Amino acid sequence: MPAQTILRMVGIPEEDIEAIKKWCYDRLKVSFGCQTPEEQMFAVDRMTQLFGYLENFVEERAKEPRDDYTSGLLRIAAEEDSDLKVEEIVSMIYSLSFAGHETTTNLIANGLRQILSRPGLWKLLREDPSLLENTVEEMLRFDSSVIAWRRMTKKTVEIAGVEVPEGARIFLLLGSANHDESVFEGPEKFDIHRENANKHIAFSHGIHFCLGAPLARLETRIALELLTRRLPDLRLAPADQRFEFAANAQFRGPTKLWADWSPTRAKAEAIR
């Protein structure tokens, strides 16, 4: 769903969305993972295919604009006093083709894993949809899809008694910060009633705050609304299934999540 949402907004044809989703997985592995040289070469070749596809896509939209985000950017670039270049638009669409859906997909999967592994919680959310908004915030805090990110200090700063010099390359552990016991009481407990759940930094902070945060929150809440309503007996299958995660240092989400539900009950709820 997140891939279809952002890529349709960009203007990517429906029949190409699945291919882009697969290309993005290779980008995840080569940009943020730890691969052998052979694996890196294969993934880089796939990334090149993705970039080439998007270059052609932007070129086609420049010739035949439509009602989509890419065409809107191209109209801005065509204005007489615009500093926006076509090459920059390609780069922006390339970024959106990954960041616009991969993290939200993982957020939904992480959240479902946490909810469905706790008896009675799915039923509670189904009976009281008003809890969903804060549940999304607790999902972001407890099991964020972006657990770390890179930054460089602009000036010397002291953190917890340690001086970090200007220009230092640092690796921020967002996942750890979201479990800070000085901010969150009982941080290792998944609590959808947590009053300050939204104090997490899953979307970063300040000028680096995630541009897509409102969309990610909206998509996740809608996904939970639909699933709790239409699949009232949704459950992990098996309940103790073993989850695997892509080998990388910054993004976290299960590669697969298996679930069962009753088709009869699902059909009845969909009709209702």
- Checking if the pLDDT of 267 tops 80, the result is no
Domains and CATH numbers, the chain: 2-99 (1.10.630.10), 103-145+180-271 (1.10.630.10)
- The radius of gyration computed from the CA coordinates of the chain, to the nearest angstrom, equals 21
Question: Average pLDDT for residues 236-240, to the nearest whole number?
Answer: 92
Q: Which residues on neighbouring strands pair with residue 33, listed in sequence order?
A: 248
Strands 162-164 and 157-159: antiparallel
- Checking if the pLDDT of 28 tops 90, the result is no
Considering the chain, what is the average pLDDT of its residues? 92
Q: Which amino acid is at 142?
A: F
List pLDDT tens digits, range 67-95. 999 999 999 999 989 999 999 999 999 99
Q: Which of 50, 41, 42 is nearest to 22 (CA)?
A: 50
- Checking if the pLDDT of 46 tops 70, the result is yes
Calculate what percentage of the chain has a pLDDT beyond 70: 96
pTM above 0.95, yes or no: no
Which DSSP category does 120 fall into?
T
What is the DSSP code string of 142-153? HS-SB--EEEE-
* CB-based contacts of 213, cutoff 8 Å, min separation 6: 203
